[in-house]
Chain A
Amino acid sequence: MSATTISGKALVPARPERSAGVWTTAGRRLWRDRVGMVSLGIVLAFVLLIIASAVGLVAKNWQKEIAVPDAPPTFVGARAEQSGAAAIVSLVPKDAKPVDLSDIDPLAPKYKEWNERAAKIEVAEPPRAATLLFGADRLGRDVLAKAVKGAEISIFVGLFAAVVATLIGTVLGALAGYVGGKLGDFLEWVYNVFTSIPDILLIFAFAAVLGRGILTVVMILGLAGWTGMYRQVRAEYIKHRTREYVRAAEAIGVTHVQRMFVHILPNVSHVILVRMSLLVVGFIKAEVILSFLGLGVPVDQVSWGTMLSEAQAELVLGHWWQLAAATLLMALFVTAFSLFTDALRDALDPKLR
């Protein structure tokens, strides 16, 4: 079968003035879009950052307690000594001796033994910085390292959930649009069922049965978010199914699966790509909220959502840096990614404007 295709191609003489393909022209349009290129640069910088953090080049020791609890950022300056503790101490006269309770204290004979035993245990108190570049959290962990590690988890979840949703939506959408008939009706029914349940309840229902964990979050978001992709891919397939190039492929005996995924798919891939990048932004936001509610990443991991949930209590004490770090990184990435998506859509589908 494929032999026919190859020999069929060989009959046509190679034309030198081949017009540029859809991807080349889109690339050129994107290159001219200044906002798009700047945002692409920021997105790529983030990608490099999370790769570096994933292989352990940066933010490897984010769990180490390297500063005093809630150490402020360097540009704010170290905090003055706690005045509260000093006030309590000053209530006691300086020359007062502790009252001797050893006659009535039943544990008194054991104190010496315990002190000896305690002395045998080596306690290493690592040096703790009074300030850090962007402050420290409640446990004295570097906020900047946490934010980078959080970016890794949040963006990873967003990207992979989008891949999962895209796979489900594309395969089902292609089947429904290309095959149609009974199968199409069945898939439409599944689509109706999924869209009739409000998104957030669908996510909660999946979260209730699937439990916690990073991969679980990816699955939950992917399973709950494929419907938009399905709808669009299905519409595209219905449109392309009867186009001449598909009929021509049919005439030379290309199989259904090949027509669906080798012939039509590249022609609708730009739609899928744009829709997928919209999903990434949505899923990153959703992951942050799920992690905040305790339904997302486990406690031994960090994401922008868990940072924000810690920040809620810290803000009352005036420790704003964790909130600021997570918010700034997230806003920067999401803005850049959204602008890039807009530019991508304009470049790939100039008719849409």
Chain B
Amino acid sequence: MAGLTEYVRWLWGISVVIQIWVCVVLFLSGNFRRISLFTGYVIWNIAQAGIVYFTYIEFGLRSRIALEAAWMSQGIAQLFRVLATTEILRLILRPYRGIWALGWRVLAVGFGVVFSLALVALGTNFRWAIVVADRGFHLAFGVALVACLLLVRYYLIPVHSAYKALLAGFCFYSCTVVVANTVGRLLSVQGNPNSQMIWQLVTIGAFTFVSILWATVLRNPLPEPHQKGMPPDVKGTYQEISSQINERLRRLDELLSRWWKLEAAQQ
């Protein structure tokens, strides 16, 4: 642990405590049943902190084993992140089968395209391979998530603020990691001695902030996103106007058809 500055150690400790708090809140509120994969993600983050701490103590911060343990555990955390996000989007879009079918394709294609581009950009620079791949992952994740949320907004699908906060947390953290990895790499190339500390402070700080947000919204049981029948907004609009609109469209069509005929005759 000697390689970590005091600020980083403190922030890391606070972050782990808050993650444990999120986990406790998930179980106390009963939300772990509804968002089990998200709960898995939080538990894995706590476990990852334990694994990394153990390897740092045992083998040293700069050892190969510590580095491998940190990045491999990070890979599993990324997998959990994707699964947790898909789980939340699935919950939101469950009543809208057509939109969900479109949504998961958008998520998959968006993620696949951006991540592939990021890997292509990796080129032959293997020294920074993990950092660039990690940045590529977070960028792809952020793009895919925002694309899905735009789709949800486009189709006027109501989303409870608790689910919004969970998704916003994921996206905010990914965006921060993209910037932190880019700035960290730049500072390191320029030979800045504090580059690692800055990177650690920014990423851990962002995750701590997101964890506080999650702990706050998860205190109460999450509302059932599945609404019986149609969503209120769509339902109201559809029922009110479905008969009127047919009439109106027919009238509009007839009128136009008459005008075009009249115009053709005049010409």
Bind each other: no
Q: B: which residues have CB within 8 A of A? A: none
Q: A: which residues have CB within 8 A of B? A: none
